[in-house]
């Protein structure tokens, strides 16, 4: 980098023979020595800074005769200074949802995936486990019904919610179990009574 003397003036805007290409260098005139010189930007050389490529292609490409860079596979940009990662949503590198790495691959954020990070991950949802039959042991049935039982289903027992009102279900399960036991007892008594009656009739014959 050259340091210009304070007596020099910028001639970029003048139509002067020998002036530099202002995209590649800066034209300066030294009023003391009456000399017009070009101070070239990085990557350019020559009396008018016409030779070379921007930033020498950042060391990751070939400088062509037309002043353009032919970049390596993992680089892009006018000076090969950018990593050539896949573009996705809205033309952004890694869809703007990941880090573009030096090897031109995307390191996606936690919720995204794919070569260009454009796909949203589907996270597993927690599913409530319904109660098993063992949860409704009759030995656990309360002697008294739970308080404030209404004929209308409570929000906790509607199909739109995952979960059960365990105390209410256990109570009604107990009632059903006691009714079944009562029917079984009556049936056994009836069978026993008919058996005795049949035995008496056979003895009489």
Average pLDDT, consecutive stretches of 10 residues, N- to C-terminus, the chain (205 residues)? 51 55 80 79 86 92 92 94 91 93 94 93 70 55 52 50 60 76 77 63 56
* Residues 6 or more apart whose Cβ sits within 8 Å of residue 10: 26, 27, 28
Q: Which residue has the tokens 């002036």?
A: 19
* Residues 6 or more apart whose Cβ sits within 8 Å of residue 11: 19, 27, 28, 29, 36
* Residues 6 or more apart whose Cβ sits within 8 Å of residue 140: 170
Strand ranges inside the chain, DSSP E: 8-10, 25-30, 35-40, 44-45, 51-52, 61-63, 69-71, 75-76, 82-83, 98-100, 106-108, 112-113, 119-120
The SS3 assignment for 6 reads: coil
| pLDDT score for 178 | 79
| pLDDT score for 103 | 93
DSSP 8-class letter at 177: H
pTM: 0.46
| pLDDT score for 200 | 58
| pLDDT score for 160 | 45
User: Which of 62, 66, 88, 64 is closest to 75 using CA atoms?
Assistant: 62
């Amino acid at each position: 980098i050259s340091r210009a003397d304070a007596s020099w003036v910028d001639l970029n805007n003048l139509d002067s023979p020998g002036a530099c290409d202002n995209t590649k260098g800066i034209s300066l005139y030294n009023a003391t020595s009456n000399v017009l010189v070009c101070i070239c930007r990085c990557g350019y050389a020559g009396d008018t800074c016409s030779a070379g490529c921007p930033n020498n292609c950042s060391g990751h490409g070939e400088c062509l005769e037309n002043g353009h860079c032919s970049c390596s596979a993992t680089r892009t940009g006018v000076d090969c200074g950018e990593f050539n990662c896949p573009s996705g949503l809205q033309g952004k590198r890694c869809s703007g949802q990941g880090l573009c790495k030096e090897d031109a691959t995307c390191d996606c954020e936690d919720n995204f995936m794919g070569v260009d990070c454009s796909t949203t991950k589907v996270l597993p949802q927690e599913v409530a486990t319904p109660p098993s039959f063992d949860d409704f042991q009759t030995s656990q049935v309360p002697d008294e019904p739970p308080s404030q039982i209404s004929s209308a289903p409570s929000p906790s027992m509607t199909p739109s919610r995952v979960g059960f009102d365990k105390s209410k279900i256990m109570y009604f399960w107990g009632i059903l179990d006691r009714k079944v036991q009562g029917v079984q007892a009556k049936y056994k008594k009836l069978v026993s009574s008919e058996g005795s009656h049949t035995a008496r009739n056979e003895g009489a014959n």
